[in-house]
Structure 1
């Protein structure tokens, strides 16, 4: 059954390390500009740098800190009767975010049931050209018509829980399932992906994304400098940002080309295939 939780019964919190004062200031500024400062508050993150990692753990201190921070947020959600929006502090609100939150009940009323609603994700299947062509076409159409759609996240979600809304009706369930994952030795988003793919958690995602990753923060407290340490993550992040409502796709494309220009050249066959993919993504492609 659709959730009957009132749209006004929504709280939000952003997870932020005590030492990350610049991020905190930008979070507060965005929430104030969105006129949501009275509904969102700061949750101090568990600092992985202060933790002693147990022997046998596959997780870095930063990832353990991330785990514990999200569990803290979910524990706060248990004590709030409505929905809870949990954000990490590198979020960027899109121009449609406030309106979407105001109309949240209208969107979720169309769902039979849901546990989590993502407003931004790392995408699965980015090497599936057909799936990405369909996804881009959907986002283009929705954006042109100023529409937002909730899509089943199961086939789309690869990772990232930087922005998600927990259904108030199912907050205890989500908390308990996530807390069970502390012993899994998986990062918290990959544990969440496991729960979604096996059907234990029903998740949706907004298209276009109504939040995205703030371009000011290419340095993740977990991943490090994604631009220099792993350009593949940077390129995937640029694509992710392009799927957000109001995205400046020309600026993102320019940034992508600039970064790509510093990459080693690929061989002729690979370049031919790259151009084939570009043709497939175009309107000139004809199925055969």
Structure 2
């Protein structure tokens, strides 16, 4: 496996103040990265994979928080349609790849076949083996064509995963995030571990290596992933265009129509103030 090191597990939970300070700094750099991508016509693909409840979604949210959604777009595909099942496996993903000046963040990707499809029996053994053979070829083609491809695997301990699942179960705002597939990941922990190990053996290639984000602290994981991404892309700060806000022209006699002719949203916030 290409990704080396002792991991990014860290010690105790990172306090909020230094976390938010560093996150803001890194997000400022992500904006610079975005402008460089747009100015230079770069195509950047970031793949987010890993255990259920390992923090992929929260990290993606922080990466894109201040980015232009027309430049940086999240790709989170639903289960394939009947027509897509009859296509070449990678075909449905190809149409979501970026053109020049764009970033695509895959919240799950073609690696579904190496993980959930393989473990849950949603694909045949032959389809799984074909994927492991074709995936490095597919990714080498992307890289050879100039695409910047970055792949991150988010790891989490079994105890922390279960804790997060229980927290979702108790929180009505996040209950929707707890799916039947999530629960299966508890009983099939070792099967997913074997599937991940086999996937890394075949797809951790020099042209597109895997980078492991290992931490039971979501704050550390987010900072580690973003900092690493920025360190792997040779971006530079692009000077912003010289923009001047023009003076407002003098009034020309326009009058707004009476308010009783239009329907206004009630002031819900008024009831919150004593």
TM-score by length of 2: 0.26
Quick check: which one's strand share is greater?
1
Which is greater in Rg? 2
TM-score by length of 1: 0.25
